[in-house]
Amino acid sequence: MTKTKIFISIIACLTMCFVSSVSGQEALDTIFKIEGKVMPVDVVKVTQSYVSFLVPGSPDTYTMERKQIHKIIYKNGRIEEYNKPVFEMVDDYSWEAVWLTEDKREVAELYKRGKISAKSPSSARSPKAAKKNATIRLQKKAASLKGIVVLVTKRQATGGYGEYPGYYLEGIVYGTEPLEEDGNEDEDLISGDVVL
């Protein structure tokens, strides 16, 4: 453990002790469930399959399966992670937030931001991998234009028997805000490779 991590752990522990002594309450452990619920509790026991805990104000001991828990932050600052959360917050202009559609009605209220295309690399080993890679490249290009949706105008799978599979996508990016006035409103097709 590095000196910085040790220092941060000591500060966190001292802060929790100070807060609990000032408020007159005992510091609690915190269970974060995979669906996002946060529970301040007093963890009693952790096994391979469940966690036992006390809820403040109740004399009963409760149990919960570990598969329901994302992580536990103990009152001493220690963190144990068990499972990934069900959902994560995604930035509005992150490529993961960009979605693809072929329905023009879904972009009717949005502003056109440009035309883009993407193709899978020649290293794709399956049609599924080629399609996924081309889709991710298209989403990244759309995010770089601050787009939130791509109206797909062309899809093309390539490669036959004995050839590496390929996939090509072309579309128009739309966003929630109009482009700044720079005179290049109708640019040519933006192409080229995006490094993943």
Among 69, 95, 87, 185, smallest CA distance to 149 is for 95
pLDDT digits (tens, 9 = 90+) for 83-101: 877 655 555 567 888 889 9
Q: What is the CATH number of domain 3-81?
A: 2.30.30.100
Residue 152, pLDDT above cutoff 90: yes
Residue 179 buriedness (CB in 10 A; 0-12 / 13-18 / 19+): middle
Residue 42, pLDDT above cutoff 90: yes
How many H helices and E strands in the chain? 2, 10
**What stretches of the chain show up as alpha helix (H) in DSSP?**
3-23, 127-144
Residue 152 CB neighbour total at 10 angstroms: 16
Residue 86 confidence (pLDDT): 60
34 confidence band (pLDDT: 50, 70, 90) = confident
Residue 115 confidence (pLDDT): 95
Residue 179 CB partners (closer than 8 Å, separation 6+): 111, 112, 113, 114, 185
The angle formed by the CA atoms of residues 87, 91 and 97, to the nearest 5 degrees, is 70
**Domain boundaries, given as residue ranges, for the chain:** 3-81, 95-175
pLDDT digits (tens, 9 = 90+) for 101-123: 998 888 888 899 999 999 998 88
3-state helix, strand, coil in the chain (%, to 5): 25, 35, 40
What's the CATH superfamily of 95-175? Hypothetical protein apc22750. Chain B (3.30.110.70)
Angstrom distances, CA of residue 175 to CA of 21, 26, 111, 113, 118: 51, 49, 5, 6, 19
Residue 122 confidence (pLDDT): 83
The angle formed by the CA atoms of residues 134, 139 and 143, to the nearest 5 degrees, is 150
